[in-house]
């Protein structure tokens, strides 16, 4: 799943806003994923202007979710790999993720 959230902050400000709001992203990811099962592992790291994360879920809809968030001068590019068990919720996940990133950019 890929999506892009446009902004007019410039790369430096957008990057700082995203970095400052990682706890918000973690909280939202935990909330979304917990409705599908239990998160047993959540890891993330920054590599330059790219935020990489993965989480493992056990339960009704178990699987591994991997994602990358790339801060560009005029957009945040997101690439998310959902397990087969969650693909039917792709639109919902995409919409919620776009909302969270938009919130992160404005804080």
Which residues lie closer than 8 Å to 73 by C-beta, 6 or more apart? 10, 11, 14
What SS3 class is residue 98? helix
Domain that holds residue 22: 2-106
Report how many domains make up the chain.
Answer: 1
**Interval 35-76: pLDDT, tens:** 667 777 788 899 999 999 988 888 767 788 899 999 999 999
pLDDT at position 36, please? 66
Mean pLDDT for 22-29 is: 84
Mean pLDDT for 10-15 is: 96
Nearest to 27 by CA among 87, 90, 92, 100: 100
Nearest-angstrom CA–CA distance, 4 and 34? 25
Residue 65 near residue 57 (C-beta atoms within 8 A): yes
């Amino acid at each position: 799943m890929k999506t892009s959230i446009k902004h007019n902050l410039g790369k430096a400000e957008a990057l700082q806003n995203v970095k400052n709001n990682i706890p918000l992203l973690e909280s939202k990811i935990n909330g979304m994923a917990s409705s599908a099962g239990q998160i047993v592992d959540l890891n993330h790291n920054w590599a330059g202007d790219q935020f990489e994360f993965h989480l493992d879920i056990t339960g009704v809809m178990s699987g591994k979710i991997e994602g990358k968030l790339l801060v560009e001068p005029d957009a945040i590019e997101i690439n998310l790999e959902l397990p087969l068990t969650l693909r039917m919720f792709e639109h919902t996940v995409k919409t919620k993720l776009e909302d969270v990133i938009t919130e992160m950019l404005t804080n």
